[in-house]
Amino acid sequence: MRTRTPAAARRNPQAARAFFLEAAQWVAQDELAKAEAALDQHLKLAPESWPGLCMKALLAEQTHRYALVESILPSLLHAKPDYAEGYCQWGRICVATGRHDAACAHFQRALQHKPDLHTAQFGLGEAYRHLGRTADAARLFQAVLQAVPQSVDAHFQLGELHRAQGDISAAMSAYKEVLALDPTHRPAASSYLFCQHYVPGVDAAQRLASARALGPIFSTSTRNPSSFKNTWAPERPLRVGVVSGDLRRHPVGTLLEPVLAHVTQHAWHWTAFSNHAKDDAVTQRLRPHFAAWHDVYTWTDAQVVQAIRQAEIDILIDLSGHTGGHRLAVFGARAAPLQISWLGYFGSTGLPDMDGLLVDPHSVPESESAYYTEAVVKLPQSRWCVAPLEGAPPVGPLPASAGQGFTFACFQELGKVNDEVLRVWRHIVAAVPQSRLRIQSVRLGYNDVKDALIRRMHAAGFQPHQFQLCGPAPHGQYLASYADVDLVLDTFPYPGGMTTVEALWMGVPTLTLALPGMLGRQGASLLAAAGLPDWVCPTPGEYAQRAIALAQPDALARQYLADLRAGMRQRLQASPLMNASQFTADLYTALRLLWRQHCACQPTGPTKR
């Protein structure tokens, strides 16, 4: 390929080449900022350098500057139309920005030029996974594995695919294969720890052992407190940072909003480190409550750590745990003197540098405090605080009162609906004449996922007239569908969270179980805070008996449910679950106590400032 050489490069071609080689050396050492500085010098001397522009695009992709990548790729592909790797990179950018149809077109173009390009096969499979074309995705991942049996990426994506289909056992097997090939693979470690919560029979001791084994993967800390400029004054106003990929329309953003509305009552400084690419309406509402806001999605872990330390954050709160979009490596680098986990996760992170875990007395009894690597810090009422649901339709009358049978429902993610849950639900529906079970989930919008669940329900003994499967709906329509539901049946051992709150606000109580572990008691914690402790059962057998009794067609049972439904919103608004002012005061008390303890433990002792 011929390109025009600038006069500066013609005068000193050795300098241009030297800068390029220097950039390549810095890339090999993972010093991306230094690599880009050298590369920019190279491109000043040779602005049309094809290798230089290729490297620039790759560096921009690694730091999530996707618009820059897309500004470079057209000229690269114009100069070299058969550059399959360029189309492949464009496909990856489209996947990262949610344009999955466009991603498919780019990956297919790459495969036209290079049919055996495994990265393009892999990328096309990932795009298909996001589009719900699970069979096509599986075929492509298997093709990659056939050619490259030790492809860590293909094994990991197969795990993500199985998880999306609700096949948690197969997902965990794939993640284990990834960790066998690469014991430091952080995404697989997080996914494995997260998926353990779905599996019946995995007890608290097993989850703790896994967290202890995998949590240190995220740690790079030297545990040197002298590196912080913070003063150890126990009573001064504190600087609190929150790190999350979910400061948006997501349960975390929804749960954080009522708390932030009350933080101005306290003279503390709150800073957000948001790890999500796009804002939405919830993000825009959250922003003004923070004294400072940093969008860190494109930042390296080192850059985030540096920003946290420069801001002299005293307490850094993780709102993600091992869920998507986390930045646990930032906590593993000991970015702040005191680091705690809250809201986004429901178990131990396993990180040696995660100091505390905010819980409540219902979710973690004293007998289970030892099953967490973090110190358990208990808020007095609930670890959650919720606000009335914006735009929710009015609560409708009890559907069963119209004499058209009784409707049980579940609105959970399908991975929670394991075979034991289906067996118990089948027993309940069979014992209640003219009853049916409605299952509504986003993934049921995909035919292969829906067909797989139908097969499982038939295997569990359900007849076609005993269940209804519904796919995704706009949020308002989704909430309105509770008007057709008499009672929600919770999943176990992974119960509902925000879906339980939504059901309650729409007047529909959830029958749940109290099982070991913070997550196993999540439903119990929510219902206790809402003033409904009698809707919590200790065993699956008692859960089934209670559901059958509540669904009986006698006037007394129906009137009880109708009255509960009619007064549910008033009950919630008078409960600790919606007392945002008191919750925020309790949160501040807990954080202050942690800070006092931390200051007292410093080698120099607490200071007066």
Q: If you average pLDDT over residues 497-501, what whole number do you get?
A: 96
Is the model more confident about 263 or about 60? 60
List pLDDT tens digits, range 191-231: 999 999 999 989 999 999 999 999 999 998 765 555 799 99
pLDDT at 50: 86
C-alpha to C-alpha distance for 596 and 276, rounded to whole angstroms: 33
Query: 348 near 207, Cβ under 8 Å?
Result: yes
**Ramachandran class of 177: left when φ > 0, alpha when ψ lies in -120 to 50, beta otherwise:** alpha
State whether the Cα torsion 115-120-121-125 is positive or negative.
Answer: negative
CB-CB contact of 501 with 478 (8 Å): no
3-state secondary structure of 496: coil
Stretch 105-119: mean pLDDT, rounded? 95
Q: Is pLDDT of 608 > 80?
A: no
Instruction: Tell me what the pLDDT averaged over the chain comes to.
Output: 93
Q: How confident is the model at residue 607 (pLDDT cuts 50, 70, 90)?
A: low
Q: Per residue in 222-238, pLDDT tens?
A: 655 557 999 999 999 99
Domains of the chain, first to last:
7-184 (1.25.40.10), 225-385+585-600 (3.40.50.11380), 399-577 (3.40.50.2000)
Nearest Cα residue to 55 out of 71, 35, 70:
35
- E-assigned strand segments in 156-230: none
Lookup: tokens for 297:
């999605």
Percentage of the chain with pLDDT > 70? 96
Characterize 538-562 residue by residue with b for buried, 16 or more Cβ atoms within 10 angstroms of its Cβ, and e for exposed: eebeebbebbbebbeeeeeebeebb
Q: Quote the CA–CA distance of 285 and 289 in Å, as a whole number.
A: 8
* 63/556: higher pLDDT: 556
What average pLDDT score do residues 46-69 get? 90
When pLDDT is cut at 50, 70 and 90, the band that residue 363 belongs to is very high
Is the pLDDT assigned to residue 135 strictly greater than 90? Answer: no
Average pLDDT of span 391-407: 94
341: helix, strand or coil: strand
Higher pLDDT, 364 or 27: 364
pLDDT in tens, 230-273: 999 999 999 999 999 999 999 999 999 999 999 876 779 999 99
d(CA 581, CA 258): 9
Helix 447-460 × helix 419-431 angle, to 10°: 60
pLDDT of residue 411 exceeding 90, the answer is yes
Q: How confident is the model at residue 305 (pLDDT cuts 50, 70, 90)?
A: very high
**pLDDT(11) > 80:** no
Residues of the chain with pLDDT > 90, as a percent, come to: 81
Query: 8-17, 473-482, 512-521: which range is least confident on average?
Result: 8-17
- Of the pLDDT bands very low, low, confident and very high (cuts 50, 70, 90), residue 5 is very low
Per the CB < 8 A criterion, the answer to whether 335 and 304 are in contact is yes
Bigger pLDDT: 321 vs 266: 321
Angle at alpha carbon of residue 139, lines to 147 and 115, rounded to 5°: 55
Q: Given this model, what pLDDT does residue 28 score?
A: 87
The reported pTM is: 0.89
For 15-38, what is each residue's pLDDT tens digit? 888 999 998 898 888 888 898 899
Contact criterion met (CB below 8 Å) for 399 and 483? yes
pLDDT tens digits, one per residue of 144-185: 999 999 999 999 999 999 998 889 999 999 999 999 999 999
